[in-house]
Amino acid sequence: MADDHGAATWDVPAHVPPELVRDFKFETLPGGDVDSVQAAADAVRGGPDIFYGLSTRRGEGAWVIARHELIREVYQDAELFSSRHNADFARLIGEEWPLLPLEADPPAHAAWRILLNPIFAPARMRAMEADIETLAVDLVDGIVAKGEAEFVADFGEVFPVRIFLRMFGLPLEHTDHFVAWEGDLLHSLTIEGRQHAARAIVDYLRKVIAERRAQPTDDLLSYIATTEIEGRKLTADEALGVAFLLYSAGLDTVANMLGFMFKHLAEHPKDQQMLRDEPALIPDAIEELMRAYPIVISGREVTRDVEFHGVRMKAGDVVSLPTMLAGRDEREFSNPDVIDFRREKVSHITFAAGPHRCVGSHLARRELRIALEEWLKRVPPFRIKPGERAITHGIGVFGVERLPLVWDKA
């Protein structure tokens, strides 16, 4: 629906108090193209802890939780706040299969988590480190002599995709397809763009899963295609749900975190130099940067009528959990807009909390650390290209669309 001025609005349920309704969309916040995370934090400060706004994930009304403590509480209460329609990629193309284990609630969720835990265990991630380093070095060495790069296209998007392809046993020459599909799936401004990407990904994964079932190889996709859960093989839709989750979660999140991290270092040369002088600080810096630049907006569905911290919610209401608001919450972190690599307490929930805490967090941290280490070893001090600027967005998963970097050639 639209108001008398033609501005986009949405239907507000009768049980929502008018004073809690806000015309709020992450992708149109003032300053969002300069720093979408800062713009989001600025937009909610001084406002209610919970308000009813427009969910940019679904294009419908949702309860937006604006406080770290309350977001954590929702994450941890899977009985009241269901994850079953967290992303709903299947419904985009008229199908019904869940992203697993993300869209499975306890107790069923536990079996799916057990299925994936060994894949992403710290020991297995350590075994992958040499391959990840090789991929990072190859990309950086192909860039450094040029003296400049568009970081997102030249490294940020490509690096995690190549790691994913290696893990799934897929050809590296498919990189461009996977980057394009991922971008359209999570950032397209039209439902048609998202549908087209979802269909392309589903058709590709279904084909390869069927091939791996017939002729397994030593890769993650073969594991998904042939493994068992509770004494039975996964159905075709279940295997697709697991593979689609790993695809959608493993590529764009790391790419966008890299974008924000390198944007910060390019714009804050003292912080960049600190990591060059003290590389042992890199793991702590990554935690602080993840706190300051979270990118994911998770969704939950209320399972029964409830009053949650004074707000009356109805069964079926959608709840939006913007981690970028949690990371900049002044009640949780002192001076939250100040990025301090020596901050004593960095207890962020960027990887979520509770039963659905990110299963790939060990891999993500390793990718981020290796990317920073290899860039700082090989690339001289870098900065934003004169006359240009970084561009960010708050569409779906927050990200950096463009990051033009330059450095002095050796």
Helices (H), 121-227: 122-141, 151, 158-168, 175-187, 191-214, 220-226
Instruction: Report residue 177 as tokens.
Output: 């397809």
At 21, the pLDDT band (50, 70, 90 cuts) reads: very high
pLDDT at 216 over 70: yes
Residue-level pLDDT at 59: 62
Tell me which H or E stretch contains 240. Answer: helix 236-267
- Over residues 280-285, the mean pLDDT reads 98
> Are the C-beta atoms of residues 385 and 17 closer than 8 Å to each other?
no
Query: What whole-number percentage of the chain has pLDDT above 70?
Result: 96
Neighbours of 191 (CB within 10 A): 10
- What's the pTM value of the predicted model, to 2 decimals? 0.93
Residue-level pLDDT at 7: 37
- Over residues 94-113, the mean pLDDT reads 92
Domain map (residue ranges) of the chain: 18-407
Residue-level pLDDT at 11: 80
Tell me the pLDDT tens digit for each residue of 142-201: 999 999 999 999 999 999 999 999 998 999 898 888 889 988 888 887 889 989 999 999
Residue whose C-alpha is closest to residue 305's, from 22, 13, 59: 13
Q: Which CATH superfamily is domain 18-407 in?
A: Cytochrome P450 (1.10.630.10)
Are β-strands 60-65 and 318-322 bridged in parallel, bridged antiparallel, or unpaired?
A: parallel
